[in-house]
Amino acid sequence: MSILNSCTHRRYVEGIEILDPFYEEGWNDHSEKYIYKEGYVESTVVDVDLHRYKCTQCGEIFYYSTRAEAHYTGSTPDESIKESNARWLKRNRE
Ligand SMILES: [Zn+2]
């Protein structure tokens, strides 16, 4: 899947102390109960449907293909996009 165009919004998720999933009480007195989980940068886009995705920060909509963009911006209606999306939406509602 290629992302043709996108805004530059990203969200930084702060690092946090979490309970070490491998920690066992009394197993090793020197082991730390909490470990630091590094922060990370995550994308702010979510799928709108099979052919479009949206930035949750600015609300801008992007397309997975030039065909999809042409279809949704109204210049070139495309039946296969319409049909595949209807199937996708149906599947995701179930
Ligand atoms: Zn954005």
Q: What is the pLDDT of residues 36-54, one digit of tens each?
A: 999 999 989 999 999 999 9
Task: For residue 45, give the amino acid letter.
Answer: V
Interval between CA 56 and ligand 1 midpoint (Å)? 7
> Integer distance in angstroms from the first to the last C-alpha of the chain?
24
**CA 28 – ligand 1 centroid, Å:** 47
CA of 61 to the centre of ligand 1 (A): 9
pLDDT tens readout for residues 72-91 = 998 899 999 999 999 999 99
pLDDT at residue 92, rounded to an integer: 87
Q: What is the tens place of the pLDDT at every residue in 65-76?
A: 999 999 999 889
Q: H/E/C letters for each residue in the chain? A: CCCCCCCCCEEEECCEEEECCCCCCCCCCCCCCEEEECCEEEECEEECCCCEEEECCCCCEEECCHHHHHHHCCCCCCHHHHHHHHHHHHHHHC
The pTM assigned to this predicted structure is: 0.65
**8 CA from centroid of ligand 1 (Å):** 6
